[in-house]
Structure 1
Amino acid sequence: MTLVPNNNLDELDLQILDLLIKDCRTPYLEIARICHVSGGTIHVRMKKMEDMGIIKGSRIILDLPKLGYDVCCLVGIYVDKTSSFNSVFDKMSKINEVVELHLTTGNYSMFAKIVCTNITDLQDVLLNKINNIDGVQRTDTFLSLSQPIDRNISL
């Protein structure tokens, strides 16, 4: 993804973001050295982008299979009626295996990304957690065989 200037961000802001996307642990002084500005300038720019809601924190990226999470899937969820959405969102947020939830257009009301240790755990999540939520009409599950592209653009 290429970041482009807009009314709120200039080239320096974008350069800072680009460096942080590559490694969010880069020290401000290192960013300042690369950008040929002072450390104070980087601090002010970071604060500005945080206040604007552009930077929402920092995250660690885990290699989930190395931690024993060998199953990743996407689940298309059909919700029976629009008035059920908030309740479904709330209940889905309490399922630890759900790592992302997207409201979607098309055939599904929403898509969930789920990670589990094995197929037995996935079966439990699908049958005993997601499909038991009031408002969930049915689900379609797609197993991820691999993830050849992962841009990790969230900081």
Structure 2
Amino acid sequence: MSENELDELDIKILRLMQKDSRIPYSEISKRLGVPEATVKYRVRRLIEKGAILGFYTLLNPRKIGFPFSMIILFQIIPEELENVFNKLKSMPEATHVFKLTGKYNIVAIFHARDMNHVSKIDEAVRSLRGVTAAETLLVTGVVYMNWEFPI
């Protein structure tokens, strides 16, 4: 589903749900002045078309025992790229894995419990078959995080 497939009502529904994914359909209906059945239909269609990927609780890693965040940039042998993606995705500490253009092929974000855990993650990813270089950056502070898209 591309942006141009979204009409004004879809966008209004998505804006409300980005702010609070637990907002009841009845509340969306009331705020937008449309029947609740319409809201249910639209949300179901947005899920089926892939515009809504899921509903999650956004956790603060520093408050739940993962005070260390790391960003790792990878250079990978092209024929091992898919293998490395799959290995990184299977690591429970990895929260984001992106394919890149430029000097690095992949960037991944990890969260760790302590410096020993940071070292274990770093060693594990550097030893993956196909990794020719990895640059690990330790996050020293969170300045800004925004999970809402400007639709």
Q: Same fold (TM over 0.5)?
A: yes
Structure 1 distance, partners of 2:133, 2:4, is 44
Structure 2 distance, partners of 1:46, 1:11, is 13
The reply on whether 1:126 has 2:119 as its aligned counterpart is no
How far is 1:6 from its partner? 4.5
How far is 1:26 from its partner? 0.2
Task: Map 1:77-116 onto structure 2 (within 5 A).
Answer: 77-79=74-76, 81-116=77-112
TM-score (norm 1): 0.90
Q: Which residue of 40, 47, 51 maps to 1:50? A: 47
Task: Map 1:114-153 onto structure 2 (within 5 A).
Answer: 114-127=110-123, 129-153=124-148
Q: Which amino acid aligns with 2:4?
A: N
Give the match for residue 26 of structure 1. Answer: 23
How far is 1:148 from its partner? 2.2
Secondary structure in structure 1 of the residue aligned to 2:141: coil
Unaligned 5+ runs, structure 2: none
Residues matched between the structures, number? 148
Q: Which amino acid aligns with 1:107?
A: K
Dislocated runs of 4+, deviation >4 Å: none
Give the match for residue 59 of structure 2. Answer: 62
How far is 1:132 from its partner? 1.2
TM-score (norm 2): 0.92
Secondary structure in structure 2 of the residue aligned to 1:101: strand
Give the match for residue 39 of structure 1. Answer: 36
Structure 2 distance, partners of 1:48, 1:93, is 28
Change beyond 3 A, Cα 1:84–1:71: same
Structure 2 distance, partners of 1:44, 1:112, is 36
Structure 1 distance, partners of 2:37, 2:96, is 36
How far is 1:69 from its partner? 0.4
How far is 1:7 from its partner? 3.2
User: What percent identity do the matched residue pairs reach?
Assistant: 25
Structure 1 distance, partners of 2:88, 2:41, is 38
Structure 2 distance, partners of 1:8, 1:48, is 12
Secondary structure in structure 2 of the residue aligned to 1:7: helix
